[in-house]
């Protein structure tokens, strides 16, 4: 299958209110350009250095989403051009993004990552930590960031019931957070969930942004 036919097939499963993030990490610029040529504009990367190189080399109307784990000392490299940071998992990181965004004279859109999987290895706030942070921290004073919603990753399993229930719980948390802290804020509207193997379930459960990599570009070569 080619990148073009893969994208066409995925598009046919995505309703118009859901946006596709083409996860291009570990894939070459030529592959990104193939997707670009048939109209894709949102690409997701998970390494700062790789993202910066691709930003330099590729068309400037691409919307770059950072989907990896972000280290504070690298925020400054992506802040000038990134359009959404998916994986913010601490208040400290939010403060640091705010600081760098202020220096760059812009406002950076962020999603708060929630740990919904069984595995210990995945990053993110626990649901309780998230509510505590939003209750006790002065995030609303950080004028150079915009919290646009939540992001999560389901457990790596073939158990579809498990995956669905994790997405359901993230959607319920999203609705709760929206009603408690962002009720008058229409910018808090994104729920980033769903990858190659589970994006259709994620859409059924309320996803607005699906992050699809290997189903578009094939399996990644990590060397």
Ligand X SMILES: *Cc1c(COP(=O)(O)O)cnc(C)c1O
We find the least distance from the C-beta atom of residue 113 to ligand X, in angstroms, to be 9
Which residues are bridge partners to 113 per DSSP? 151
Q: In terms of CB distance, is 88 or 195 closer to ligand X?
A: 195
- 209 C-beta neighbours (distance < 10 Å), count: 25
Nearest alpha carbon to residue 87 among 108, 121, 50, 113: 113
Q: Are 147 and 182 in contact (CB under 8 A)?
A: yes
The rounded distance, in Å, linking the Cα atoms of 205 and 211 is: 15
**CA 84 to chain CA mean position, Å:** 7
We find the least distance from the C-beta atom of residue 20 to ligand X, in angstroms, to be 11
The rounded distance, in Å, linking the Cα atoms of 30 and 28 is: 5
Residues near ligand X (CB under 6 A) are 23, 25, 46, 67, 153, 195-196, 211-215
Which residues are bridge partners to 90 per DSSP? none
CB-nearest residue to ligand X: 213
Q: In terms of CB distance, is 127 or 213 closer to ligand X?
A: 213
We find the least distance from the C-beta atom of residue 103 to ligand X, in angstroms, to be 27
We find the least distance from the C-beta atom of residue 185 to ligand X, in angstroms, to be 25
Q: In terms of CB distance, is 86 or 171 closer to ligand X?
A: 86
């Amino acid at each position: 299958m080619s990148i073009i036919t893969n994208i066409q097939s995925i598009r046919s499963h995505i309703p118009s209110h859901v946006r596709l993030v083409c996860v291009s990490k570990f894939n070459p610029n030529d592959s990104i350009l193939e997707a670009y040529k048939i109209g894709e504009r949102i690409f997701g990367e998970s390494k700062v250095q790789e993202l910066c190189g691709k930003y330099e080399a590729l068309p400037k109307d691409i919307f770059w989403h950072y989907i990896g784990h972000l280290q504070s000392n690298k925020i400054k490299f992506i802040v000038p051009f990134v359009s959404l940071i998916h994986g913010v998992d601490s208040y400290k990181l939010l403060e640091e993004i705010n600081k760098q965004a202020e220096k760059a004279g812009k406002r950076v859109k962020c999603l708060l990552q929630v740990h919904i999987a069984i595995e210990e290895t995945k990053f993110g706030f626990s649901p309780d930590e998230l509510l505590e942070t939003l209750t006790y921290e002065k995030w609303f004073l950080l004028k150079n960031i915009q919290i646009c919603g939540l992001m999560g990753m389901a457990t790596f399993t073939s158990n579809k019931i498990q995956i669905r229930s994790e997405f359901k719980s993230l959607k319920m948390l999203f609705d709760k957070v929206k009603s408690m802290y962002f009720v008058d804020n229409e910018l808090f509207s994104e729920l980033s969930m769903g990858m190659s193997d589970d994006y259709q379930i994620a859409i059924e459960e309320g996803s607005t942004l699906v992050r699809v990599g290997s189903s578009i570009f094939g399996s990644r070569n990590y060397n």
